[in-house]
Structure 1
Amino acid sequence: MIKDKTQKIAVIGLGFVGLPLAMLLVSKGFRVTGVDVDEKKILSIKNGKSYIGDINDDLLGKALQSKSFTVTSNYDELGKVDVIIICVPTPLNHDQSPNLTYVRNAAESISTRLQDGQLVVLESSTYPGTTRDLVLPILEKSGKQVGKDFYLSYSPERVDPGNKQYEIENTPKVVGGITNQCSENTIKLYKQIYSEVVPVSSTEAAEFTKLLENTYRFVNISFMNEMAMICNEIGINIWEVIYAASTKPYGYHPFYPGPGISGHCIPVDPLYLQYIMEKKGLSSQFIHLSAQLNKEIVDFIVKRSFDIIGKDQPSIFIYGLTYKKDIGDIRDSRAIDIFNQLIERGAEVSYHDPFVPEVMINGIKQKSSPITAETISKQDLILILTDHTDIPSDLLAEHAKLIFDTRAVFKGDSLNKGNIKQLGNGLLV
């Protein structure tokens, strides 16, 4: 069935990971059923309207017209497929501990409908041991034996929204199974989907791989944020230093500071790792310090903004709320935290983001304001938090009184535009 692609595949969770994966599977010739408890998502898809930036309406419409893609909120459809891929959210609780409610619910829904020969693959980011210690016991309540009656593996999602160079298909796919047969079945399937499949020895190794990737970035970006704060105090331009250090052809890899580490993965996954370490009586000082620095950089930017302006109730115009450029995703965006804090400290704050037409701030709906010369010139400060490709840097440079640039939009030759000169860490006047 793998070779002739007659397998039916269900994808549970049609969010930023699940929907793009479903589209990839359809493009590879598989018949796909998307399952989600969110009726709004189901209705949107059925109407041919995508809510994911990387999936346009045309692609979604073609998948639906092909009859190879259907969506439902009815979990009974899981009993009619050969493969089930779980792509549900794994957020944090208020105490920063892992919230595996969605994973647990998905496993329970599968267990009562589990069929002989079915392959189940968990792709949601989680801590080592989740597949074996949480998902497996739930599935075994069906009375079926793993590796014989059904197969269970873990393969961490690797989705980078907005990345046109490394999309889902050409990003190597790590796979680890509960048994050797589980791994073999998953590898055979995934080789039909991905350009490269990377086998590891266990589900735990596959789970840890995802956490290592993002903890590596979490620690290094947090370190650079600390360096940016230090450079600000001693009057050195951090961007100049990073560029100079990057000319070294060995032993250095550049990371960049910014307005806090945002998004669902990088600031969340390290805390999943910290959780399982603490369960084992271990801890990571790197993760602890990085999490602390990720909070401090937000406070630093808010304080620095007020210090730059020099008055208590300034007007501040924020450019960019999304956690990375050219996407419409504000999940766990530190820009939202900065927006909140600026208002709480008495600033009059407005914003522009071409990907976020409106947003709730402190329970009040804020709408994206147009960028005009008149609007810019009236503001005490322009605060750049996201470096979207189409940012009107020339317009900002010509009309802004002050610009606090946290993303190095203005650097190199761009500093010669207008009457701009650079003062320390990302501050332009």
Structure 2
Amino acid sequence: MNYSHVLGTKLQSRNATVGIIGLGYVGLPLAVSAASVFPTIGFDLDPRKVEAILSCQSYINAVSDERLRGVVDQGCFSATTDLERLSECDVIVICVPTPLSSHREPDLSFVIATTEMIAASLRKGQLIVLESTTYPGTTEEVMKPILQAGGLMSRQDFFLAFSPEREDPGNTVHETKTIPKIVAGEGRDANDLASAFYDAFIDRVVTVSTPATAEAVKITENVFRSVNIALVNELKMIYDAMGIDIWEVIEAAATKPFGYMPFYPGPGLGGHCIPIDPFYLSWKAREYGLSTRFIELAGEINLSMPRYVVRRLEEVLDRELRKSVGSSRILVAGIAYKKNVSDMRESPSTVMMEMLAARGANVDYTDPHVPVIPELRDHPELHGRRSVNPKSIEDHVYDLVLIATDHDAFDYPVLASKARLVLDTRNAMARRKLDQTNVFSA
């Protein structure tokens, strides 16, 4: 039987059943988009996510309750923790985390475990697509042997592809449907099938020659951002020492219509991709006897930014108030890693809160998007901490407000009134042309 033809016909007629494994920031938007065309099943081991989906209560900003209800109520989308139902799916897409280990090496345990679960019920004619960001070679070198261990062969019995996720939490301009999709299958049939699948609900599909190339595309995108953010963070530290405003420099440089692209400094990098993915490439490069000095230096600079901010905070408190961090009360404004989202993955705010607490400071946080800090693998002691409401606090209760994330929902004049000093890592006060008499940059 020509399994490629059978699956291609199902995709063309929109009768293929799609399974999305991992219903987080990548998986849920993808699942809802796919469900607009194909019958879709979402798989997640967290029963709370499944219950929320079945109740049409979205926990991801990119998916509204109304949009979720539209596909659930029509019977186009369901969710389950029962992985045995994977055998029902013609297309299976993997959207699980790919974090770093404690030694900052790739941790593919989620990808491997998920692939093993798929292999347990793998049948002929299925298309398996990995979307999780990883190093070049993962799809064919790690996943393929696991899937073939039961006797079915890639290219012949089942089809394997890689298509990197490109979600940008908080971005209101671009969504899953409008972001061009990179696709590469192992062999022509897999390539055609993966392209046909995504083309059904995404505006533009861009095919590349091999899964390793597609994996390299995603790594390259994130290395580019990591390196440029590290550069502007280093420039910030240099210009601060010279008494030059980095934000004014960037604004002026950005008027050049060619040869310059603005990147902006901050207290460190957050999110799942940029702080992590470059280290995947560095690790893989060592297999070929190559070092990635440029990439690793960028990572070191970005990882050092929370320490720089805390040192700057110590300087400001000592110079302006003659107080030590250990005798100060500090409010961290913004615990999410970027503005207008609730995503806390790799947030530098959590690192700074721990550093300040270790120095004896009394530290609170406020974030309208994160009312309670969830369980965090690297910061278990912060679990359960609750956001304070600045409007319920008397003026000058805090010695310093540290603006770590520039949420639009913040009332910045109110924030500034709650502390004797403000340390602004995002240029939020100056950008809004607010009173700067007690505001310092970091």
TM range (shorter): over 0.9
Q: Following the alignment from structure 1 to structure 2, what is the Cα–Cα distance between the partners of residues 12 and 46? A: 16
Equivalent residue for 1:393, pick from 378, 388, 412: 412
Q: Match of 1:11, SS?
A: strand
Structure 1 position 50 matched with structure 2 position 71: no
Q: Is the 8 A contact 2:401 2:416 kept in 1?
A: no
Name 1:21's counterpart in structure 2. Answer: 30
1:146 is paired with a residue whose SS is: coil
Quote the sequence identity (%).
Answer: 39
* Structure 2 residue 411 is the aligned partner of structure 1 residue 384: no
One-letter code aligned to 2:269: I
Superposition RMSD in Å: 1.7
Partner letter of residue 381 of structure 2? G
Among 344, 351, 359, the residue aligned to 1:330: 344
1:88 aligns with 2:93: no
Measure, in 1, the Cα distance between the counterparts of 2:299 and 2:113.
29
3-state SS of the aligned residue for 1:134?
helix
Q: Distance in 2 between matches of 1:419 and 1:122?
A: 49
Of 175, 193, 196 in structure 2, the residue corresponding to residue 185 of structure 1 is 193
Question: How far off its partner does 1:115 sit?
Answer: 1.7
Q: Give SS of 2:390's match.
A: coil
Q: Distance in 2 between matches of 1:156 and 1:242?
A: 31
Shift of 1:419: 5.8
The alpha carbon displacement at 1:107 in A equals 1.2
Q: Tell me the SS of whatever aligns to 1:135.
A: helix
SS of the residue aligned with 2:349?
Answer: helix
CA–CA distance in structure 2, aligned partners of residues 58 and 419 of structure 1: 42
What displacement does 1:226 show?
A: 1.0
Q: How much does 1:336 deviate? A: 0.5
Question: Could you list the runs of 5+ residues in structure 1 that have no partner in the other structure?
Answer: none
Alpha carbons of 1:163 and 1:370: their partners in 2 closer, same or farther (altered >3 Å)? same
User: Do the aligned partners of 1:78 and 1:113 also contact (CA within 8 Å) in 2?
Assistant: yes
Could you say what secondary structure the match of 2:128 adopts? strand
1:357 to 357, 371, 376: 371
8 Å contact kept, 2:390–2:418: no
CA distance in 2, matches of 1:422, 1:397: 8
What is the CA deviation profile of residues 35-65 of structure 1, one whole-angstrom value per residue up to 9, with x for unaligned ones? 1222222223223332222223332233221
**Aligned residue number for residue 245 of structure 2:** 237
Q: Which amino acid aligns with 2:387?
A: S
CA distance in 2, matches of 1:9, 1:103: 18
C-alpha distance in 1 between matches for 2:110 and 2:192? 27
Is the CA contact 1:85–1:121 (under 8 Å) kept in the aligned structure 2? yes
3-state DSSP of counterpart to 1:275: helix
Q: CA deviation at 1:162?
A: 1.3
SS at match of 1:367: coil
What is the aligned length? Answer: 422
CA contact (8 A) 1:397 1:420 kept: no
TM-score, with length taken from structure 2 = 0.92
Deviation (angstroms), 1:377: 1.8
TM-score with structure 1 length normalisation?
A: 0.94
- Which of these residues, 290, 293, 304, is aligned with residue 282 of structure 1? 290
Distance 2:122 2:338 in 1: 39
CA deviations on 1:132-168 (whole Å, 9 max, x unpaired) are 0011111111312221211111000010111111111
Structure 2 gaps of 5+ residues are 1-9
Structure 2 equivalent of residue 420 of structure 1:
437
SS at match of 2:257: coil
> How far does the alpha carbon of each residue in 1:256-301 deviate from its partner, in whole angstroms, 9 at most, with x for none?
0001011111101101111100122111111211121122211111
Partner of 1:295: 303
Q: Match for 2:211: what amino acid?
A: T
Residues 1:367 and 2:386 aligned together: yes
Shift of 1:3: 2.1
The partner residue of 1:164 within 146, 161, 172 is 172
Kindly indicate whether residue 86 of structure 2 is the aligned counterpart of residue 78 of structure 1. yes
418 and 223 in structure 1: CA distance in 2 versus 1, 3 angstrom threshold: closer
